[in-house]
Amino acid sequence: MTHHFLNDTAVTTASDKVFVDMRREIVEGSIAQGSKISEPELAKRYGVSRATLREALNRLESCYLVERKANIGCRVVALTAERLIEVYQVRSALEGLACRLAADNMAADEVQSLKQLLNQHLQTQRVKEGESYYQEAGDLDFHYRIIKGSKNAHLIHLLCHDLYQLIRMYRVQMGMVGPRVSKAFDEHLAIINAIENHDGELAEMLMKRHISASQANIQTKFDGYQSVQATQNEMAN
């Protein structure tokens, strides 16, 4: 299933195509996080001029997926624990607000459609078996629909365009498995019930708690990765 986050940019120019392709590859990890970007190599790979590639890189920089540093050049953003904390602080505040607004502004048919979406996801074999959920389009679409349901254009732009690709990068590359999957479903259902009951305060609190659990899940993976790296370094010495 293709979801909105991968189709929010109209592809009308060569620069658009490079931007969309690179964004997907960075988010999914095909272009490694923290890797140095070679303009000549990428221009050749995508069959475009250096100028066209730079246009795409400028847009990727505005999405926080690449960064330029003096005397270093252009690199894909690195997924660090420090950046995770900063990004999820912003995400918690903004998505919590989106949830509060959705409780007031989502139409009854939109809420029912969202409930049906969750029921469909619950029937998928991968979710039943506790496999990856954050890498499924459904989880992203759930959050997307609530954000759109806020009916606040500025908030939608901030979450779905400016910041969310970096959030997606964390979620896709460090998604959850096992017990966290069923817990996330329960959290989603509770959020929807609060929205349906027009309880904005509860909806906001539940979304913030849900995002905090997501952050903790990713942080655990970071800690495990760093522990393995430290052990490997000790063995090498």
pLDDT digits (tens, 9 = 90+) for 51-96: 999 999 999 999 899 999 888 889 999 988 898 899 999 999 999 9
Reply yes or no on whether the pLDDT at 225 is more than 90: no
Work out how many domains the chain is built from and give that number.
2
70 plus 89 within the same structural domain:
no
* Residue 217 banded pLDDT, cuts 50, 70, 90: confident
Task: Calculate helix-pair angle for 164-173, 14-28, nearest 10 degrees.
Answer: 40
Reply yes or no on whether the pLDDT at 234 is more than 80: no
Q: How far is CA 147 from the centre of its chain?
A: 13
Q: Is 185 helix (H, G, I), strand (E, B) or coil?
A: helix
Query: Does residue 235 lie in a domain region?
Result: no
118 plus 166 within the same structural domain:
yes
Query: Does residue 2 lie in a domain region?
Result: no
217 plus 171 within the same structural domain:
yes
Q: How far apart are CA 210 and CA 191, in angstroms?
A: 9
* Least confident piece of the model among 24-28, 116-120, 123-127: 123-127
Domain of 25, in residue numbers = 8-76
Residue-level length of the chain: 237
Kindly report the CATH number assigned to the domain that includes residue 43.
Answer: 1.10.10.10
pLDDT digits (tens, 9 = 90+) for 156-209: 998 888 788 888 888 788 765 555 666 888 899 999 999 999 999 999 999 999
* Residue 138 banded pLDDT, cuts 50, 70, 90: very low
218 plus 201 within the same structural domain:
yes
Q: Is 152 helix (H, G, I), strand (E, B) or coil?
A: coil
Q: How far apart are CA 229 and CA 202, in angstroms?
A: 41
Q: Is-above-0.75 flag for pTM?
A: yes
